[in-house]
Chain A
Amino acid sequence: MTIPFGNPDRPNSYIGKTVPRPNAAKLVEGRGRYVDDIVLPRMVHVAFVRSHFAHARIAGIDTAAAREVRGVLRVFTGAELAEVCTPWVAVLAHLKGLKSPPEHALAVDRACWVGEPVAAVVATSRAAAEDGAALVELDLEPLPVVTDMMSALDPATPVLHEALGDNLAFRREHVEGDPDAVFASAHKVVSAKFVTARHTGVTLEPRSILVDWNPADRQMTAYHATQAPHMIQAVLAQHLDLPESRVRVICGDVGGSYGIKVHVYPDEVATAAIAKIMGRPVKFVADRLESFTTDIHARDHEIEARLAVDADGKILAMDVDDWTAIGAYSVYPRTSAIEGNQVVNLCGGPYDFAHYRARTTVVFQNKTPTCQYRAVGHPIAVAITEGLVDLAAAELGIDPVEIRRRNMFRDDAYPVTSPAKMRFEGLSHHASMDRLMALMDYDALRADQAAARARGVHRGIGIASFIELTNPSPFMYGIGGARISAQDGCTVRMDPDGSIVALSGVTEQGQGTEAMLSQIVAEGVGVSPSNVRVVTGDTQVTPYGGGTWASRGAGIGGEAALRSARALRGAILEVAAAMLQADQASLDIRDGAVVDADTGAERMPLEELGRIVYFRGDTLPQGLPRELVQTRHFITTEYPFAFTNGVQASYLEVDTETGVVTLLKHWCVEDCGRIINPQLVDEQIRGGIVQGLGGALFEEIHYDADGQLLNGSMADYLVPMAAEMPDMVIGHVETPTKESELGAKGAGEAGTAGAPAVVMNAINDALRPLAARVTHMPFTPERILRALGKIED
């Protein structure tokens, strides 16, 4: 039976409605249970001693003074942990040529970035562990450092990992058509250099893990702030020589993730190894300096790019040369080549053109490793593409909206394959642009801009169209050999009181997963969402799944939930039909009761059916199936990814005396397919936009030439605060994916994907009469004043 989503008056119509999140009430009362809130008997704390050099040989570690500190129980070095914990190599088979050296939980011979863990101090309190860590004396012999990205492959640059031969981690070039010939003959070629700064996620809850090894049960339990419990289960088992079945990962409340908490971190694996050695619970919670020096970084790219257009502004060819430096190691197990790869895949995404070349060059350096952070690669690819499109529009005297309309794939063109060989099942660039124009009243805004200019006030309007990769198949990681599940499962059961429990392999990071699942299951079974309890984040309890990343929760986890809920509905109705001696097809479940499908008249509440099945099964016909527990799994098969699309707009003001940018208003129209909970989608997009605005205006990790991180605190690394952020208008177009009955695609990346580009375009729109242009993020007052020629030293 197909759910008539188009009919809002259908029974149990919870999909598509704003329903409160079941887990929000506890969080506003401070009753959440984050890892650091958990206290176990005999629990001890670990603090790490980290390299203070970007590159150094570890000549010796003196732990004597640390061991004298009251409360300190053990001090571990890399060599000791290596006896129980094997190193890992973060490569994937489908990323051809990607290389990375073995990485240990604690550095053994050599430390390769400031912050790399070198020794671990275990004590009865966190304070004592920190006191001990401060007294561990590292004898580090500095080695030559590689810090500059663009010279990393020069012959004169030292090779960071000798065994690898050079500093090249990965390179991929994709060529479609004949870009050189087109560029040689095109009416107009525009080009620019773009720089996106090194960011980190700044989750308010630092990385946290509490690992309990029970040698009597031979069971490891990790309470972990993670996005991928099953992946962590596999990794801990593999490297600590345990069967996967003996590792249980429990993920309760998580205080922000955004991709930061989907990776394997050496200090977290070390914590598990120490728990296994000591046979008691060990807790590690990163402090804020550790967050800045050891959480993955991202987005450190420099790009030269060109666009060829004809006289009408039609895009003919695009050429992108992307460089990124990923720190000292590729990050396990997702690898650090994905971001550059995404830039190759996503550039030019909204546009119908034929000739394309994109190359990404991924190099090692002595800095914190980079890896996947929210909207992986998207903000970079969108900035490149939309920056060039605006440049072409300005050169040709075409309105920025009009040039996009001339080039975007037609809404009836699908399915199509892009020049980057991405396959689009169905997108809505033109409908989204039309909706944006209506929401923002583009013409009125242009008039306001002109009036402001007449007063000497420099306001700018930015537009950026984009595509967003969601619902990944095994083509993302699985085919490369990683034990990262692209499928996901859901078990739905009815208990004797007629209530429903749903167990899902996707996880709650605060985005509203549990609300979304409760709505889908409620509609699928025929009960109120308040009568559905959702359980996530426990590898011993939930079906096997991938967790939360690449905006897969609603599209993949949601479809598994819908299918299992529908299966449970069928199982309930089969029992009900026997009890009521009715044709199963004549019955339905609505609001927690079996009813006549035609009239809606109640025949039997679910708790009565539950009472009979669980306590008086003797009264049911022999052989009648009564399986009120149903599990279904879902995996996408027709497309490697479900692409979505959207378009953003920014209206802002540039103070040309101070260089300060004031964001006046922001718009986003996006198409994530079927919307399950409108409020949750809108808030995902708003939150994503603000993370993107941080990248556009504030966020930048600074290192000096020796590889010392210079701004490792929230006072020095700026993130968006309430006062600087604009109100945001969100609109939608819905193009459901045909791969699933639910039709949902992802919505988690759209805001972050487009926001930096749209701010860049708006600033440049404001500065165009002054012949100034910025393409180096973040757009700080200094960079804007330099572009205006007001700072020249």
Chain B
Amino acid sequence: MSEMFRAKIDIELTVNGEAVEGSVPAGQHLIDFLRLECGLTGAHASCEHGVCGACTVRVDGIAVRGCLMLAAQADGAEIWTVEGLSETAAIKDLQEAFVARNALQCGFCTPGMLVAAEELLAGGGVPSRAEIREHLSGNYCRCTGYEAIVDAVESVARTRAGRGAA
């Protein structure tokens, strides 16, 4: 059976705004393709069950588990990872808020957490703390106890809403 997983499939996709081509094993997960083939080590494989969210990346505008999606399924997709979101300064305010509030300790969950948080923030408005907690409940953090993360996301939502109103 493992030979079937090794069969190569050609894919073309956009990763962080750059065109990428690959010939990937059928069984390769998106997170492994991004880490091993693209050198994008920001998002991490952790639970490998789609539970913890450390592998979260943006696929066609949606926060997706990189460990639950095959690379072959990403043919034609537009993918953004923390590296691309950093280089384009798309989430600079969120990243600065995480640093200022110490909303990360070991940083292993952070790239996925940021993608998930940005998905919520992109919806606009100022979500309640309960809504922030609910939205991030698919992204585990073992270090912070979450409160600092909720604070950081809440502060960015308020700032963005204020800017939009002004």
Contacts and interface: CB of A to CB of B under 8 A. Distances in A.
Given A24-B104, A28-B107, A715-B51, A131 B44 contact: no
A652 B33 CA distance: 45
Contacts of A202: 140, 142
A689 B145 contact: yes
Interface stretch (A505-513, A602-610, A756-764): A505-513
Given A687-B105, A689-B145, A288 B47 contact: yes
A465 B141 CA distance: 27
14 contacts: A21-B99, A28-B107, A29-B83, A30-B83, A30-B111, A32-B108, A33-B41, A36-B44, A127-B5, A253-B107, A509-B106, A690-B146, A721-B146, A722-B146
A719 B108 contact: no
Given A69-B2, A510-B107, A30 B49 contact: no
A277 B48 CA distance: 31
Nearest to A29: B86
A728 interface: yes
Contact of A686 (B45, B51, B142, B148): B148
Nearest to A257: B106
Given A255-B108, A509-B106, A204 B44 contact: yes
B52 interface: yes
Interface in B63-114: 81-83, 86, 95, 98-100, 102, 104-111, 114
A713 B49 contact: yes
B54 interface: yes
Given A20-B99, A510-B107, A691 B147 contact: no
B145 A728 contact: yes
A65 to B, nearest CB: 11
B127 to A, nearest CB: 12
A725 interface: yes
A287 interface: yes
Contacts of B144: 683, 686-687, 690
Contacts of A691: 142, 145
Given A29-B42, A509-B106, A127 B133 contact: no
List 7 tightest A-B contacts by C-beta distance, closest first: A30-B42, A27-B107, A255-B108, A510-B106, A690-B145, A510-B105, A30-B82
A3 interface: no
B41 A714 contact: no
Given A204-B46, A687-B145, A714-B52, A719 B95 contact: no
Contact of B110 (A28, A203, A511): A28
A30 B145 contact: no
Given A30-B86, A288-B47, A21 B102 contact: yes
B49 to A, nearest CB: 5
A34 B108 CA distance: 9
Interface in A675-718: 679-680, 683, 686-691, 713-715
A25 interface: yes
Contacts of A28: 82, 86, 95, 98-99, 104, 107, 110-111, 114
Nearest to A25: B99
Given A28-B95, A30-B81, A204 B108 contact: yes
A723 B140 contact: no
A136 to B, nearest CB: 14
Given A28-B104, A511-B105, A688-B145, 8 more contacts: A28-B107, A28-B110, A30-B43, A30-B81, A256-B105, A509-B106, A691-B142, A722-B150
B82 A205 contact: no
A715 B83 CA distance: 28
B137 interface: yes
Contacts of A258: 142
Contacts of A34: 41, 44, 108
A206 interface: yes
A300 to B, nearest CB: 20
Interface string A275-299: 0000000000001100000000000
Contact of B105 (A288, A512, A719, A725): A512
B149 interface: yes
A555 interface: no
Contacts of B98: 24, 28
B22 interface: no
A719 B142 contact: yes
A94 interface: no
B140 A256 contact: no
Nearest to A260: B142
A256 B102 contact: no
Contacts of B105: 256, 509-512, 683, 687
Contacts of A509: 105-106
Contacts of A725: 133, 145-147
Contacts of B147: 686, 725, 727-728
Contacts of B43: 30
B27 A127 contact: yes
A203, A257, A288 pick with most chain B CB within 10 angstroms: A288
A778 interface: no
A294 to B, nearest CB: 15
A720 to B, nearest CB: 8
A288 B46 contact: yes
B157 interface: no
A123 to B, nearest CB: 12
A205 B108 contact: yes
B41, B136, B145 pick with most chain A CB within 10 angstroms: B145
B83 A203 contact: no
Nearest to A255: B108
A723 B147 CA distance: 10
B106 A204 contact: yes
B143 interface: yes
Contacts of A793: none
A177 to B, nearest CB: 40
A723 B54 CA distance: 17
A388 to B, nearest CB: 28
Nearest to A24: B99
Nearest to A38: B41
A298 to B, nearest CB: 14
Contacts of B27: 127
A484 interface: no
A30 B41 contact: yes
B41 A723 contact: no
Contacts of A255: 44, 46, 106-108
B130 to A, nearest CB: 8
Interface string B1-43: 0100110000000000000000001011000000100001111
A690 B141 CA distance: 10
Contacts of B104: 24, 27-28, 510
A254 interface: yes
A256 B28 CA distance: 26
A256 B108 contact: yes
A680 B99 CA distance: 12
A510 B140 CA distance: 15
Given A34-B108, A288-B46, A714-B52, A29 B95 contact: yes
Given A204-B44, A719-B142, A127 B25 contact: yes
A201 interface: yes
A714 B51 contact: yes
A738 interface: no
B19 to A, nearest CB: 21
A37 B110 contact: no
Contacts of B142: 201-204, 256, 258, 687, 691, 719
A510 B103 CA distance: 11
A39 to B, nearest CB: 9
A683 B109 contact: no
Given A24-B98, A27-B107, A255-B107, A722 B136 contact: yes
A288 B145 contact: no
Contacts of A446: none
Contacts of A768: none
A96 interface: no
A32 B107 contact: yes
A31 interface: yes
